[in-house]
Structure 1
């Protein structure tokens, strides 16, 4: 674990209220997605990404107002604009959706008309859902540059990846950061004007990419950082100069690690970090670099700068960083309809932060085999 001296500052305006946050399983699962499509350098034995979920978040304010952050994939992704569906069909990924977010909400007594706003972290297909299933009273909230680039939507704009039906008849609000406040290293908008929930400007991956920071408790302050596609794998965020790989057994939830011989390479033991350091060196990376850099996005250099800013938050034990496709939450964190505000007391951050290392079990096994031959 990073020493106290190495933990960077991530200043959030003091005081403020809290919101109740629930993590919604959109039931989206994306499989057979080549690692090289999203990240570099390659990892031995890891041709594909793990099967990826797509999280949505329900944010409930003391006023009764309810927001959603992202919607996952609609029940039939073939209803997207042709510019999207044609690419998905050509790529041949395994995309399944059992139930849309609006139906998950309804199953637990939250009606569509209760949602005052939907925040799209960005316009990519696996975050859009189907806003047309919400009434016109539900506002759609997007990031800077969205309107100029994508309106009026498909079919009026044939090459637009978003549909006219997504925002037809409803207010489409584009966040303006020109008079923003500062939260950590990010420009931010205090959505409820009480410090309970901030929308963050997190550029690089896509036009208008947004993140969210929700205050989940006070005295002490804790936060959930909703990262969208700021990264697609924890190995794009960790390790960092603030968050080296821990070597102690207490940092790994052993129940989350497979028991096969190959996975045993990832089981906690003294000196385990040394093996990962060797893995990094074999890939021309240092032990304080992330395992991967992004390869898919609008501006990769800007995306990497945004990741570096987010690493300041990720290193703080009162902030739980959750990106949209983080599979480590499955089987660990409580999901909607239960709230996630007690995440720190329940050690969910600690239990999920390094489980991604099990993805590298085949690479470590290959690395060990090479050492044995030498």
Structure 2
């Protein structure tokens, strides 16, 4: 069990589907490549976190701004070459749900990438922006002050930008940690590798249970599952909603048969992160180290790990504004959603989910569909 300092203070965590949906080539984010899984479908989630003791509310990640063509010129081409569909900006979603933006004390960016930062200019200047280590020296000032900047001046103008400083004095599961509210209810975790200043968050949802918001520590659960800390059961639990192409009950051999490491298929992740320079990970070896730490936390029965683009969250109906996800353990979500990603894997014939009608239940659009590619 992972050591986490005891506390009786908790936060309420609400799940927000930001409606930022992306398709990318699997090889950009996963290695080795498994025949049949050529494309990753990435919904994008944010989290509204309310500190019960003080009533303070913070937003962890924001999805993309709807008008992405107004991003800095240095960024627009990379968005244009992705399959991307954005229905609403997160500020619209919050307002429609009855959230007063003036009540948000902080926006926490897991990192600087366009699909996580939204449009900060649409939030009150009284809302601080919280970022990870080395952010300011790498990304401020923004465009147009700096012509080749990756962010906009308008993200920062008139706003306090607070850069978190981590130390080794407090560590949780191998991550240097920062006690955000000072009472053990919400920790920020130093999780570099994918991007400069990348951070994750650990929210205490009851006295003894937590949700780990992993940001882009990785983009697919098969990068940290299964593991020695959370092994693949011989039969997939009946609570996992498996696609119709798989038998019921579903033996794990449906998936271990395609695992790249046959003699450790039940205790080794299906994928690693790509290690080539110039890819989606700024520091691939460090990112892989953080994924290893993530696996340890994932093995704790009292911690639910949610990465920003996990398709399993599409099955969660308890969304903002009416619900929070604090009762995840009571509802059995860890067992139910931990293995949902197996549906995305190809079968032993090399055919992946998108070739089956099962994908339609999740409203997955083809990357070749112009509705998906809103360029």
**Is the TM value for this pair above 0.5?**
yes
> Displacement of 1:366 after TM fit?
3.9
In the other structure, the counterpart of 1:88 is 79
> Displacement of 1:248 after TM fit?
2.6
In the other structure, the counterpart of 1:240 is 227
Does 2:21 match 1:29?
Answer: yes
Residue 43 to residue 156, structure 1, CA distance change in 2 (3 Å)? same
Q: Distance in 2 between matches of 1:331 and 1:58?
A: 18
Residue 249 to residue 297, structure 1, CA distance change in 2 (3 Å)? closer
Match of 1:365, SS state, is coil
Q: Distance in 2 between matches of 1:343 and 1:240?
A: 21
In the other structure, the counterpart of 1:106 is 95
**Counterparts of 1:1-374 in structure 2 under 5 Å?**
9-31=1-23, 33-49=24-40, 51-62=41-52, 63-89=54-80, 91=81, 93-178=82-167, 180-218=169-207, 221-250=208-237, 252-253=239-240, 256-259=241-244, 263-264=245-246, 267-269=248-250, 272-281=251-260, 286-295=265-274, 296-337=280-321, 338-360=323-345, 362-366=346-350
> Displacement of 1:175 after TM fit?
0.3
Cα contact 1:251–1:350 (8 A) shared by 2: no
> Displacement of 1:363 after TM fit?
3.5
Cα contact 1:206–1:298 (8 A) shared by 2: yes
> Displacement of 1:99 after TM fit?
1.4
In the other structure, the counterpart of 2:370 is none
> Displacement of 1:86 after TM fit?
1.5
Match of 2:91, SS state, is helix
> Deviations 1:24-44 (Å, cap 9, x if unpaired)?
11111112x110111111111
Residue 284 to residue 179, structure 1, CA distance change in 2 (3 Å)? closer
Q: Distance in 1 between matches of 2:233 and 2:264?
A: 18
Cα contact 2:261–2:268 (8 A) shared by 1: no
Cα contact 1:333–1:340 (8 A) shared by 2: no
Q: Distance in 2 between matches of 1:148 and 1:114?
A: 29
Cα contact 1:41–1:283 (8 A) shared by 2: no
Q: Which runs of 4+ in 1 moved over 6 A?
A: 282-285
Cα contact 1:29–1:97 (8 A) shared by 2: yes
Cα contact 2:255–2:347 (8 A) shared by 1: no
> Displacement of 1:359 after TM fit?
1.4
> Displacement of 1:275 after TM fit?
3.9
Cα contact 1:214–1:225 (8 A) shared by 2: yes
Q: Work out the number of aligned pairs and report it.
A: 344
Q: Distance in 2 between matches of 1:346 and 1:75?
A: 34
Q: Distance in 2 between matches of 1:283 and 1:111?
A: 52
Q: TM-score, normalised by structure 1?
A: 0.88
Residue 180 to residue 163, structure 1, CA distance change in 2 (3 Å)? farther
Q: Distance in 1 between matches of 2:236 and 2:255?
A: 15
> Displacement of 1:249 after TM fit?
4.4
> Displacement of 1:103 after TM fit?
1.3
> Displacement of 1:111 after TM fit?
1.3
Cα contact 1:46–1:363 (8 A) shared by 2: no
Unaligned runs of 5+ in 2: 275-279, 352-375
Q: Distance in 2 between matches of 1:268 and 1:210?
A: 38
> Displacement of 1:178 after TM fit?
3.1
> What's the RMSD between the two structures over aligned residues?
1.8
Residue 281 to residue 34, structure 1, CA distance change in 2 (3 Å)? closer
Cα contact 1:181–1:189 (8 A) shared by 2: yes
Residue 162 to residue 285, structure 1, CA distance change in 2 (3 Å)? farther
Higher mean displacement: 306-315 or 282-291: 282-291
> Displacement of 1:358 after TM fit?
1.2
Cα contact 1:197–1:213 (8 A) shared by 2: yes
Match of 2:259, SS state, is helix
